[in-house]
Structure 1
């Protein structure tokens, strides 16, 4: 692991400690505000955490100097200067950084609570920043491997975990050689994954092909079921079935060519749904409650002349992987 990666790993651990200290201080002030503890007990607790917080943050700031991370150094030195300003601004004869006489006022309690909340947010944002920079070091080892055509997300997760563990074992056995063969991450050819939201699980029957729906199912079904809607109510689709019988497909095409049309097939025991380029089946449907295809046929499809699911836009198929998406 490079020195940069080690630095940001230490920075994340350091920031977690600072987060815990500020959460502890916020809880202490809350206890004081509702009279669970008295003001002297509260100040003793706050003073016990002040020096560790300052030391942890100064160490972090100094480390960023030696690593030439000037932006993050300036970001952190501002808080160090604030600590120094608050310390030297103390009243003469004040006991510790937090004094019972000074803090024994509801307005002062609110002011200190605000300070702790601001620092808590600052440390949280810094933690996310360090987490981002932690992944910018050189690549110590990488390996390509073949994927089967019908692999699911969970299967891919297990496969990559096994490969990652084997590579990590090799690196730990000879870290010096791994660092010597390290390669910098390329700045070209970068792609960005879409952020998952509830619409990522919906099927757009007019625009999604059989292949699109199959890939979507294999990618997301281990997280949550694919969805559609009927009369503006969500419907969850379970147990996907690919329809390969050409005779059956021809018979379904005779009945309807409208995307979203749902037809029950007794031989496959599934609900066949028309998409952009053909038909795809699901053996279980959850509409109000989960049920098998035959029950859904008897309860809903058979009572309507033409049962058609709604098409809902899915942002995962907006193919813009060459740039970052704006926050939604």
Structure 2
């Protein structure tokens, strides 16, 4: 997989994750302001937890397969954190966001902080991938056609090559400054 395609896909996936995390923040703030009930809010958020996890793991796998070790090390902490969050759901809860516990002991505030940190991570990742994409584009070789097929007024354009100006031979001058 070419680097340009890889980083383009990384940008698209990261952009989708950013929009998803903004949705999470809006939904949690709607719950905090009592625009949504806890059951509806948790059902919405738990539905999107698995696609969020798999898209982050897809990014990680693509970077591993392409051999970008620095970016793999950069993405490893967020992947571990998301897998750990998904794996250690308390028994009896319907998902990471449980309507029975979301208002207890500051759970709502904790979820808001975690989603905000994840959003900050994804925004930093977006700009890192954007830099990598621009770097990959700049390193790509430019292939110029062998023949000039440009026509102006039904006549082929004359090919003129750049010629450096003739060198000027000046007599040795002695400057006093």
TM range (shorter): 0.7 to 0.9
Q: Secondary structure at the match of 1:136?
A: helix
Distance in structure 2 (CA, Å) of the matches to 1:31 and 1:68: 42
Over 3 Å off, 4+ runs: none
Unaligned stretches of 5+ in structure 1?
A: 144-165, 167-328
- Which residue in the other structure is 2:115 paired with? 116
1:72 pairs with 2:71: yes
1:95 pairs with 2:61: no
Q: What do the CA deviations read for 1:170-204 (whole angstroms, capped 9, x no partner)?
A: xxxxxxxxxxxxxxxxxxxxxxxxxxxxxxxxxxx
Q: Which has the higher helix share?
A: 2
Distance in structure 1 (CA, Å) of the matches to 2:119 and 2:10: 15
Q: Secondary structure at the match of 1:24?
A: helix
Partners of 2:53 and 2:83 within 8 A in 1 = no
Number of equivalent positions: 143
Q: How does 1:3-152 map to 2 (within 5 A)?
A: 3-105=2-104, 107-137=106-136, 138-141=139-142
Q: What root-mean-square deviation, in Å, do the aligned CA atoms of Structure 1 and Structure 2 show?
A: 1.8
Q: Which has the higher strand share?
A: 1
Distance in structure 2 (CA, Å) of the matches to 1:98 and 1:67: 35
1:8 Cα offset (Å) = 0.4
1:97 Cα offset (Å) = 2.1
1:139 Cα offset (Å) = 2.7
Distance in structure 2 (CA, Å) of the matches to 1:106 and 1:75: 32
- Name which one, 1 or 2, has greater alpha-carbon Rg: 1
Partners of 1:18 and 1:53 within 8 A in 2 = yes
Unaligned stretches of 5+ in structure 2?
A: 145-149, 151-177
Partners of 1:14 and 1:56 within 8 A in 2 = yes
The range that moved more, 59-68 or 82-91, is: 82-91
Structure number with greater CO (CA < 8 Å, separation at least 6) is 2
1:106 Cα offset (Å) = 6.8
Partners of 1:46 and 1:98 within 8 A in 2 = yes
